[in-house]
Structure 1
Amino acid sequence: MTRSTLHEGWRLRAVGGPVPDTLAGRDVPARVPGSTHLDLLAAGLIADPYLDRNEADLTWMHRVDWRYTTEFQAAGPGAGERVELVFDGIDTVGAVAVNGHLLGETANMHRSYRFDVREALREGRNELTVTLGSALAHAERAEARLGWRQRAYPHPYNAIRKMACSFGWDWGPDLQTAGIWKPVRLVRWDTARLTRVHPLVTVDADGTGRVEVHLTVDRATDRDYTAMVTVGDHTERMPVPGDTARLTVLVPDARLWWPVGYGGQPRYELTVTLLADGEPVDVDRRRIGFRTIAVDTEPDGDGTPFTFVVNGTRVFAKGANWIPDDHLLTRVTPARLARRIDQAVGANMNMLRVWGGGIYETDDFYDACDERGVLVWQDFPFSCAFYAEEEPLRGEVEAEARENVTRLVARPSLVLWNGNNENLPAYTDWAGWRESLDGRSWGLGYYTGLLPGLLATLDPTRPYAPGSPYSPGDLPPNDAQHGTRHEWDVWNMLDYTHYRDEIPRFCAEFGFQGPPTWATLTRWIRDRPLTPTAPAFLLHQKAHDGNGKLDRGLAPHLPVPDDFEQWHWATQLNQARAVAFGVEHFRSWWPRTAGALVWQLNDCWPVTSWAAVDSDERPKPLYYALRHAFAPRLLTVQPREGRPILVAVNDHDQPWTGTVHGTRQSLTGDILAASTLPLAVAPRSVALLDLTDDLLTPADPGGEVLVAAVGGVRVVHQFVEDREFAYHPTPCTAEVTPVTGGYRVDVRATSYVRDLALLVDKVAPDAVVDDMLVSLLAGETHTFTVATTATLADPAALRQHRVLRSANAAARAG
């Protein structure tokens, strides 16, 4: 068997639709894998769609048809030889031809295509063309045939199997990409090939790892075929008399794969070899991990839990939702994905939810999660819309689900299949949506019939949920006491303190907006002056009334500044505060609440959004707040029965013991009250500690803080909001020292300073600080380490007011 990639020599031409004069009749060099936007950008024919207001200038591309063309040399088909053209992914509506012979058509971005090319292939030079029609026009035609169905955004993304957010979202651009977005190759064989390798990986009760491999063979000749399966140093063989076979390999005392923070991530090499007359003719290799996975949904006294159980251990899911890491997908490299997953782990996360408005992620993504112990909750690609269940859409849904379940079935990191994002509450709760159907199908048959039916056969090894949010039976899908919940009243309507109104069993989405880092913002948005209402800034704010919600969310806590740079810091700080407030509330209710997945980890372009890491890969203040709030050991002050108490969260395999030292003190460090509390928190548990009255009764609520600390873990609690607090305007001093790889910034507090941050990207675009949102009591010091390749002409810039920020300054910036 030979496999030859066909990635060279491609040309792109616009062949239909509103083609600009500058492009008409013109061939452009093209990259495969790639996209039309990237090809035109490389040729200098369009401006960068992420810059300023350029996105709005490219709407003509929505309705253009494109043709990719290349030539390749090949030998003609031999007698009995199979020759196939394989596309791992086409975006989206395509017609594939070789030498003018139409091989087939495509209409699904989420699956691969394989074409028999024997009749079209000739000796020597061959021409391959892929003609791509407008996805928008295709979706409109499909909608006209299948009937209009409600969706959250204007374009009919629900009528085509394409990344939904390609048509725009409340954090993403409306670019509607097109291209050959995954590899393409010519495959030749004349004996047999493995058409499907389907390993089901489980662990027996006695600790034996079990790998049950289902395989399908496509034969070109009748030979004596044998399948050989090797897991580590354990091998089994069996004849393959027909087109299918099933082999089981047992691995005694298998080493278990664990989530990060719970153990290691050992993996085993799995090799499946097809032999003909004893000689190998095809091989499939992958790495697997042994672990058990379940979700506890057994009703209890509080409702219906939703608790992940890995290897028999109950896990609090600390994590975030994941969207495509670049809207122009082919720019997302394995190295970029590894950096992003490392950032998730660096923020003490153990789970990412691959959200249903994006894609089934690439193997590189799951490789990174497997290696690092990051649990993956995988949505099927349905989001915020009703979907027709009739053909041809139904057949495409089934084809993509079969392919991707088979592709991902052996991934140890993948712990949940989820039917959709928010389509169930759209039907039950969203005003006018159900009524708009007028009897038409809306997707329920996918979530309760087709998908679980496929999984029962293709992947019985892991749990499935019909949707997110989801509550069992006839309960409202977003019921806080049952199953999973999305909390969006906070941000849309309510102040973030209202996170405490509900105690969800598992919060799969919640979040608060903030702008990107300063370097990212000013690189991509060049309005002068920069204001929240400047045209380009507004184009990069996709949420309905987003800036209004930012200001209304800020006002109860901090003044809303008139100066843009101060507003930028204040809204970033408020985003960090809001989400950390929610995380700490949810964690304090473990095991009743069993998960907190923040919306969202990452961005796909430069935008004001809910992300913790912006599109230029820079961590926002929110990122550091999540690192603190998701720390393995956490102290937080929470209300219980009308009284503040101290909650100690121990997400660790070892007990947490010691003495809590509590003080109430002035901003200058005078101790006004003190007490000690014994601490003993079992592994993976939460303890509630009563605080003495003298710690909780300040004489001057705006000038005192409550401090509780044990073993290097501390909480500083204020009795009033920042805007009512008597912050000292200049509460600290700082010194900057050059060190290898960057700079050291030593800060000394002369008065209480809250949420110290170094916005180092303002000084050097590549600079990263090791921590942020650090609070110091009077007399305390802290050292920040700044990593950068830049040599600063004036290192003192790192302690300038616009770089060294705090809540003290924000509270006085009105």
Structure 2
Amino acid sequence: MSLITQPLSTGWFFKDRDADTWLPVPSVPSVVQQDLIANQKLEDPFVGFNELKARWVNEKSWVYRTTFQKPATPAGATIALVFDGLDTFATVKLDGQIILHSDNMFIGHRVDVTTSLEADSEHTLEVEFDCALLRARELRNQDPGHKWVGFNGDMARLAVRKAQYHWGWDWGPFLMTAGIWRAVRLEVYTARIADLWPQTQLAAHYQTAEVTAVATLDTVVDGPYTARFSLGVGGHEIAAQEIPVQEEKTSQVTFRVNHPVLWWPHGYGEQTLYEITATLLCNDEVVDHAYKKFGIRNAELIQRPDKHGKSFFFRVNGMDIFCGGSCWIPADSLLPAISAERYRKWIELMVAGRQVMIRVWGGGIYEDDSFYEACDELGVLVWQDFMFGCGNYPTWPAMLESVRQETVYNVRRLRHHPSIVIYVGNNEDYQVQESERLTYNYEDKTPDSWLQTDFPARYIYEKLLPEVVAEHSPSTFYHPGSPWGDGKISSDPTVGDMHQWNVWHGTQEKYQIFDTLGGRFNSEFGMESFPHMSTIDYFVENPEDKYPQSHVLDFHNKADGHERRLATYLVENLRTATDLETYVYLTQVVQAETMMFGYRGWRRQWGDERHCGGALLWQLNDCWPTISWAIVDYFLKPKPAYYAVKRVLNPIAVGVRREHHDWSVAHAQPPRASRYELWISSSRAHTVQGRVELRFLSVNTGQDIRRPIVRDDIAITANGTTNIITDGVIDHFSVPEPHVLAARLWVGNQIVARDVDWPQPFKYLNLTGRKLDIQLRRGLSETFLIINARNPVKCLVFEEQDGVQFSDNAMDIVPGDEQIVTVKGLGEQPVKYRHLGKNSVL
């Protein structure tokens, strides 16, 4: 017989364990907050102060129940009840009998229920979810000798294998979910393919590859069984072979592929995906089949000594890749709300923004299959953390066994994805070790001794996890933590990756010097900003609360000290505002400038012996409508910083920068002279010829204050940096008025990149009267905005609207340089825009 699947997605009811009334569940997967909202028992916790009204849910236990008919079951067949995810302390009963206990949200379960379903009558399935918050505190109290320390949330969270951000984070609410958070179903079979693992070995010359497919089988009825393997690409079969199944219930085949079409990150080549299909036959009858899509590629993390210390960068198919990208948190506090379509839209935004790597952060979840599939199909590299974040985790034997099962389950689930290029042990747990002075002797190489220290989780990160990765995904690099570098202090800029938070957190350095603060790979850094007004309108109900420092707005900013930090960066750089729309815009300008200064400088360092291997900003997304470090808000609306990063990550980008003059230290005295630099960054595989122009334009008049510098026939270094001017100087006695440095780069007859360096800080500049001219031309499917200005314009932002896409935004405009923005989805809607000094509507 062929395997039969019966989803159990409807017909569920739920209740508070201590209550009598059952309420209907629209469908599963779901979590209790969604089901309470659907039954009008809970207000949207994302609106106003409703998160506080939802806190009672966190301390309750919940029961879900459904009934179902036994599926048609041939003689000798097995019936399995399959849960892909239970959140978190779950006891499963079938007709009143306990068949499963689960205490790990990250593990799927398969229970043989054949004998339990012998009767053909209706059966009752019940899942009771014990309160994770109270259970966590009980577990913490059972081990008072452990040092329960870390950052963010209740430290009892460290005792529970549940998404850590559910305990509240400095960007997210305190919402403890419970429920059947991933799919549940019945499967009836006599034999099935339990796992299919395609493995690739690409020859050093890239002209041949071996694809080995291993099928692991689960057989109930004796064979004989045969496995037919088919290898295809682009919908066409290119090889096939039938293999008898051995007694060990595995079947394996190796195909040789000549001239394989390689998988590349976007911007470097195509995202070709091969497909391996395994069909299980018994006496020529098909009993099951499985398939996996995979890519043929080679991915390496290059760590080698150099003049800066030890490198840390990625190489794919022999091509060094500067990994400009973002960190990812779960896209919703209520996880089943994230559809496959929504996942794909997030990754499409990354590709449109020229970001090549996403870091799945260790305080969230191992993401849904559709997330990784989108990364595979669209060419975004994945840095995958294991789910340990900001804490000193305990290592009881039961915990270690649960972690091992979790790791095996998820590595086996994810290992075929070509997008995943690194597994990383944790997020900032080594920083917790440092800040709390926990024991860590890197020279001690005896794992059992680590368990006896006050930092026992080292055993997880440096023994358990690497062993699992080596066994189940040996071709994927493993890194013990983020940040981490050969056992050195996590802030060491010469080795490993680092989280650079001395802008915003820490010493709160000027964002203009961000690039001087980086390391070999900057895997976290950021600057807060407000979301768009439409998002604020969603969660701020009362008009009287729509001012910059309102109670509800502060409630939706979970970052410690955000009032002081936002105020510091605003008052240092911009003229302050009291109306909310202007204030929102100003915070977004600061965020965009911060990301630009960091990315632009670090990308330039790529050309200096790979001094900086990549930059992953914190963070791409939000889990609720909020004020945070995200560069795209909860409703997938890009902030200005998104476009600033997009321009810096242009395949060929020009950069111009004058040296930083710290006006606060100099008591606002202007510099006598300014040194400046001009360079080109390229990710192209080959040298190309270009032409660059640098203009010096008065902020006040828009006139050239000196003759432009033009360099023709520049050989732009492949995959590196071409320095054009390194010792330019402007004497401010001869040129006293404020001016911008405006650079343009041509390749052939096309302008491929621009950059504008402004005198700092903006608050000293008069940016009214810019004489901006925007012409709107509507076409059948697109609208074009033709933009000119008589004076330099800073951060021209067109308001983001639902269903509207801008090819560029948050732009600097200078006289004599017309720019055109293509807009999709605008229709007959007006365009609202603003820049520093003005706002208006077209």
Q: TM-score, normalised by structure 2?
A: 0.90
Summarize the Cα distance change of 1:693–1:230 in structure 2 as closer, same or farther, 3 Å threshold: closer
Q: 1:754 aligns with which of 794, 797, 800?
A: 794
SS in 2 for 1:499: helix
Alignment map for 1:33-72 (pairs within 5 Å): 33-72=29-68
Q: Deviations along 1:45-96, whole A, 9 cap, x unmatched? A: 1110101110011111111111111111115765432111000111111111
Worse-matched range after superposition: 241-250 or 569-578 = 241-250
Partner of residue 272 from structure 1, selected from 259, 278, 291: 278
Which residue of the partner structure matches residue 168 of structure 1?
168
CA distance in 2 between counterparts of 1:52 and 1:786 reads 33
Q: Please list, as runs of the form range in 1=range in 2, the aligned pairs for 1:398-547 lying within 5 A after superposition.
A: 398-428=404-434, 430-431=435-436, 439-472=453-486, 474-492=487-505, 493-527=508-542, 528-547=544-563
How far did 1:175 drift? 0.6
Contact kept? 2:31, 2:178, Cα under 8 Å: yes
2:124 pairs with 1:136: no
Aligned mate of 1:368, from 369, 374, 383: 374
* Aligned: 1:301 with 2:307: yes
- List per-residue Cα deviations over 1:755-796 (Å, max 9, x = no partner): 1112254xxx5544432122222355444444446745xx4x
Pair 1:671 & 2:704 matched: yes
Structure 1 residue 43: Cα displacement: 1.2
Worse overlay, 196-205 or 86-95: 196-205
The question of whether the paired residues in 2 share the 8 Å contact of 1:770 and 1:786 is answered with yes
Secondary structure in 1 aligned to 2:586? Answer: helix
Corresponding position: 1:390 with 2:396: yes
CA deviation profile, 1:193-235 (whole Å, cap 9, x unmatched): 2223233222123532222233332221222222332222222
Any idea what SS the aligned residue of 2:592 has?
A: helix
Q: Would you say 1:557 and 2:573 are equivalent positions?
A: yes
Letter in structure 1 aligned against 2:354: N
Change (3 A) 1:637 1:180: same
**Cα distance in 2, alignment partners of residues 750 and 672 from structure 1:** 14
SS at match of 1:626: helix
How far 1:113 sits from its partner (Å)? 0.6
Residue 100 to residue 30, structure 1, CA distance change in 2 (3 Å): farther
1:684 aligns with 2:698: no
Answer yes or no: is the 8 Å Cα contact 1:701–1:720 preserved in 2: no
2:691 to 638, 659, 667: 659
- AA aligned opposite 1:593: C
Deviation at 1:292, TM superposition (A): 0.5
> Residues 652-679 of structure 1: CA distance to partner in whole angstroms, max 9, x if unpaired?
2342322322222223332222222242
Give the C-alpha shift of residue 697 in structure 1: 5.2
Kindly indicate whether the alpha-carbon contact (under 8 Å) linking 1:558 and 1:723 is maintained by their aligned counterparts in 2.
yes
Return the match for 1:777 from 776, 799, 814: 814
Partner of 1:242: 247
Shift of 1:99: 1.0
Deviation at 1:167, TM superposition (A): 1.3
Structure 1 residues 35-184: aligned runs within 5 Å? 35-75=31-71, 79-121=75-117, 122-147=119-144, 148=146, 149-155=148-154, 156-184=156-184
Structure 1 SS opposite 2:382: strand
1:484-541: CA deviations, max 9, x gaps?
0110111112221231333411111111100111111111122413123322211210
Give the 3 Å change call, closer, same or farther, for CA 416–696 of structure 1 in structure 2: farther
Report the 3-state secondary structure (helix = DSSP H, G, I; strand = E; otherwise coil) of the residue aligned with 1:555.
helix
CA distances 1:529-579 after superposition (whole Å, capped 9, x unpaired):
312332221121000011221111122211222222211110111111111
Say which is worse superposed, 391-400 or 227-236, in terms of deviation. Answer: 227-236
Q: Give the SS at the match of 1:120.
A: helix
Match of 2:742 among 681, 704, 707: 707
* Worse overlay, 334-343 or 774-783: 774-783
Contact 1:526 1:536 survives alignment (8 Å): no
**SS at 1:541's partner residue?**
coil
For 2:757 and 2:341, how far apart are their aligned partners in 1?
40
Structure 2 match to 1:323: 329
**Secondary structure, aligned partner of 2:230:** strand
In structure 1, the residue corresponding to 2:261 is in which secondary structure?
coil
TM-fit CA distance, 1:456:
1.2
Task: Please point out which of 597, 605, 628 is paired with 1:609.
Answer: 628
Determine the structure 2 residue equivalent to 1:576.
Answer: 592
Return the letter of the residue paired with 1:219. T
Contact 1:508 1:597 in 2 (8 A): yes
Instruction: Rate the CA distance shift 1:701–1:195 in 2: closer, same or farther, 3 A.
Output: farther
Residues 756, 804 of structure 1: 8 Å contact kept: yes
Residue type at the aligned position of 2:303:
T
Q: 1:692 to 1:131 in 2, by over 3 A?
A: closer
State whether residues 787 and 818 of structure 2, in contact with CA within 8 Å, keep that contact through their aligned partners in structure 1: yes
> Which structure 2 segments of 5+ residues have no match?
233-237, 441-450, 661-673
Tell me what 1:219 maps to.
Answer: 219
Contact 2:573 2:761 in 1 (8 A): yes
Q: Which residue of 2 aligns with 1:347?
A: 353
Residue range with higher mean Cα deviation, 666-675 or 287-296: 666-675
Q: Which amino acid aligns with 1:579?
A: M
CA distance in 1, matches of 2:220, 2:489: 54
Q: Residues 212 and 25 of structure 1: is their aligned pair in 2 closer, same or farther, counting only changes over 3 Å?
A: same
Instruction: Work out whether residues 64 and 128 of structure 2, in 8 Å CA contact, stay in contact via their aligned partners in 1.
Output: yes
Aligned residue in 2 for 1:731: 771
SS in 2 for 1:556: helix
Give unpaired runs (5+ residues) of structure 1: none
Q: Deviations over 1:613-635 (max 9, x none)?
A: 11111111111111112111111
How far apart, in 2, do the equivalents of 1:626 and 1:7 lie?
42
**TM-score normalised by structure 1 residue count:** 0.93
Amino acid corresponding to residue 521 of structure 2 in structure 1? F
For the 8 Å contact 1:77–1:118, the answer to whether it is kept is: no
In structure 2, the residue corresponding to 1:12 is in which secondary structure? strand
**Structure 1 residues 274 and 78: alpha-carbon distance in aligned structure 2, compared to 1, 3 A threshold:** closer
> Matched residues in 1 for 2:202 and 2:787: separation?
52
Aligned-residue CA RMSD (Å): 2.3
2:210 paired residue number: 210
Task: Name 2:678's counterpart in structure 1.
Answer: 646
Moved more, 491-500 or 692-701: 692-701
Identity, % of aligned positions = 31
SS of residue in 2 equivalent to 1:137: helix
Q: Does 1:256 align with 2:262?
A: yes
Matched length: 789
Given that residues 236 and 248 in structure 1 are in contact (C-alpha distance below 8 angstroms), is that contact kept between their aligned partners in structure 2?
no
Contact persistence 1:662–1:707 (CA under 8 A)? yes
- Describe the SS at the equivalent of 2:465: helix
Question: Is the CA contact 1:307–1:314 (under 8 Å) kept in the aligned structure 2?
Answer: yes
Q: CA deviation at 1:260?
A: 0.6
Cα shift at 1:580: 1.2
Q: How far 1:409 moved relative to its partner?
A: 1.0
Separation in 2, partners of 1:596, 1:639? 22
Deviation (angstroms), 1:297 = 0.6
Q: Give the CA deviation at 1:702.
A: 4.6
Aligned with 1:587 (options 603, 612, 617): 603
Query: Cα offset for 1:300?
Result: 1.4
